[in-house]
Amino acid sequence: MAENTTFGVTRRGLLGAFAATAVVAAPTYSNAFGLLKGAGDIRRIRMYSGRTGESIDTIYWIEGEYIPEVLKEVNHFMRDWRTDDTVKMDPRNLDIMAAAHRLMDVSEPYMLLSGYRSPRTNAMLRSQSRGVAKNSLHMKGQAADLRLKSRSVGQMAKAASACASGGVGRYSRSNFVHMDCGPVRTWGG
């Protein structure tokens, strides 16, 4: 198991005070890509992993630009924890996750259950469950399975669906929501 690591706001520390107020003042969203353009010139993601003990709370986009070094941190954080493989995560999915988080008006970080999945991990999970797609967007770095203690699966799915920017799967029995930046669609119950 990896050591407990927290990725803080390093270089972006200068913007800390501004960022905190801009996040609070950002408008409510109705579409992840269009809505985030007016989100106070920053985008922030907060997650933790029960698998690795790591957490991340960082601003990944400022004034119209993704921050490459932060995206690398996110790629590492969202790695396949079973194999330690990483891939370049699609920042559009981060945008959906951030927009849904903002819509739910929560300060609690997401619990990341699954980000990137290597083909080997996906095949193993597929052999154990009918709910794992053969060509899962997890293998392309375009999906995340997430949970919040303070929000139900229904509330999370509704917020993600309101973004109208990708796939949203409800997994009520397992208490998580799948968010991806693939075609707009919903499934599950």
Tens digits of per-residue pLDDT, 78-110?
999 999 999 999 999 999 999 999 999 999 999
Q: What is the mean pLDDT of the chain?
A: 84
pLDDT at 106: 95
Amino acid code (one letter) for 48: Y
Helix (H, G, I), strand (E, B) or coil at 156: helix
Instruction: Please state which CATH number belongs to domain 6-188.
Output: 3.30.1380.10
Tens digits of per-residue pLDDT, 114-141?
999 999 999 999 999 888 889 999 999 9
Amino acid code (one letter) for 134: K
How far apart, in Å, are the Cα atoms of 119 and each of 7, 16, 52, 123, 136? 27, 38, 20, 6, 9
Inter-residue contact 86 to 79 (CB < 8 Å): yes
Please state, for a pLDDT cut of 90, what percent of the chain lies above it: 74
Tens digits of per-residue pLDDT, 162-177?
999 999 999 999 999 9
pLDDT at 129: 86
Residue 7 has pLDDT above 60, yes or no: no
Query: Which positions ≥6 away from 35 have C-beta within 8 Å?
Result: 27, 29, 99, 163
pLDDT at 32: 52
- Mean pLDDT, residues 60-85 taken together: 96
pLDDT at 15: 40
How far apart, in Å, are the Cα atoms of 111 and each of 27, 53, 108, 133? 24, 11, 9, 21
Which residue has 């053969």 as its token pair?
134
Q: Provide the whole-model pTM.
A: 0.79
pLDDT at 177: 98
Tens digits of per-residue pLDDT, 22-32?
333 333 333 45
The whole-angstrom separation of Cα 115 and Cα 83 is: 12
The whole-angstrom separation of Cα 29 and Cα 49 is: 26
